[in-house]
């Protein structure tokens, strides 16, 4: 079966329903996981309502925080108190208030280069998952957004980072879209090593790129699918092209 055929599509009424549905799926996945849960968050603006929700009742009370480990799909190579930092955004929205500090695994941006940060993040992931990605999924749940150019995490179309097949993380010298700062990103092999890969897509501005992904254009977002699990595209009505139908 093709990656495309394996995608599940869920359409939420609006941005609030999108965040609620994502929180429910994340929570269900944590509950189903007998071992410490490995969750990979993403950056950008779309997941912020979800992150805020996780810090509020009832989700905050339900999540078994001590047994959940939080990682980032990518980050901008800026300090965490810079407003462009993905880790800073997630920490302020919920991680600092809810997660034990040792369970928050952000990408270092206080080292010399994005390549060095990628190397260290890969080592940190190896410590949790000391086996090849093909043997078992690295993450229980991976959250991704999609850029208007079809990028995921910081893997921009037509770049070396997006074509990486071996490393789990890569330094990205040039971002394809604003903010135009160097990035550090997990690669497609690592992001796809998930029991559930959930795309969160909101707003009319994403409708065109969603159409291109579902038409099969060769883009990082088209190639991102859970290699050993479920791939779900959760969109709000505004982001969904008219011909895109829920698959239940």
3-state SS track over 40-104? EECCCCCCHHHHHHHCCCCHHHHCCHHHEEEEECEEECCCCCCCCCHHHHHHHHHHHHHCCHHHE
Q: Which of 25, 43, 63, 198 touches ligand 6PG (CB under 6 A)?
A: 43
Stretch that binds ligand 6PG, among 6-14, 42-50, 63-71, 189-197 (CB under 6 A): 42-50
Task: Compute the distance between CA of residue 76 and CA of residue 46 in angstroms, rounded to an integer.
Answer: 16
**66-85 residues near ligand 6PG, rule: CB under 6 A:** 73-74
| Shortest distance, position 130 Cβ to ligand 6PG, whole Å | 26
Kindly state the tokens that stand for 40.
């990979």
Residue closer to ligand 6PG (CB basis): 4 or 45 = 45
Distance of CA 77 to CAs 91, 96, 115, 150, Å? 16, 20, 10, 21
Q: Is 86 in the site for ligand 6PG (CB under 6 A)?
A: yes
Give the binding range for ligand 6PG (CB under 6 A) out of 17-25, 43-51, 96-104, 109-117.
Answer: 43-51
Other Cβ atoms less than 10 A from the Cβ of 243: the count is 7
Subset of residues 117 to 176 that bind ligand 6PG, contact rule: CB under 6 A: 145, 147, 151-154
Q: Is 14 or 134 the residue whose CB approaches ligand 6PG more closely?
A: 14
Burial of 201 (0-12, 13-18, 19+ CB in 10 A): buried
Using CB under 6 A, pick the residue from 17, 33, 44, 65 that binds ligand 6PG.
44
* Cis peptide bond upstream of 55, omega within 30: no
**222 in contact with ligand 6PG (CB under 6 A):** no
Residues in the site for ligand 6PG, rule: CB under 6 A?
Answer: 42-46, 73-74, 86, 145, 147, 151-154
């Amino acid at each position: 079966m093709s990656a495309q055929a394996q995608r599940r599509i869920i359409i939420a009424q609006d941005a609030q329903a999108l965040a609620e549905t994502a929180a429910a799926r994340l929570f269900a996945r944590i509950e189903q996981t007998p071992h410490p849960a490995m969750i990979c968050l993403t950056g950008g603006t779309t997941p912020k309502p979800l992150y805020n929700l996780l810090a509020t009742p009832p989700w905050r009370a339900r999540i078994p925080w001590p047994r959940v480990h939080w990682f980032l799909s990518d980050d901008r190579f800026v300090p965490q108190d810079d407003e462009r930092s993905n880790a800073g955004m997630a920490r302020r929205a919920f991680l600092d208030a809810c997660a034990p500090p040792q369970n928050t695994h952000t990408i270092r941006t206080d080292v010399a280069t994005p390549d060095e940060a990628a190397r260290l993040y890969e080592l940190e992931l190896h410590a949790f998952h000391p086996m090849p990605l093909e043997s078992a999924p690295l993450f229980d749940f991976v959250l991704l957004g999609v850029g208007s150019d079809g990028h995921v995490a910081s893997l921009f179309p037509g770049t070396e980072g997006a074509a990486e097949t071996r490393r789990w993380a890569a330094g990205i010298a040039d971002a394809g879209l604003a903010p135009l700062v160097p990035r550090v990103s997990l690669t497609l092999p690592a992001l796809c090593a998930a029991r559930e890969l959930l795309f969160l897509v909101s707003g009319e501005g994403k409708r065109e790129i969603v159409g291109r992904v579902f038409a099969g254009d060769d883009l990082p977002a088209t190639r991102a699918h859970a290699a050993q699990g479920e791939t779900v595209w959760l969109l709000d009505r505004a982001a969904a092209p008219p011909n895109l139908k829920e698959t239940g």
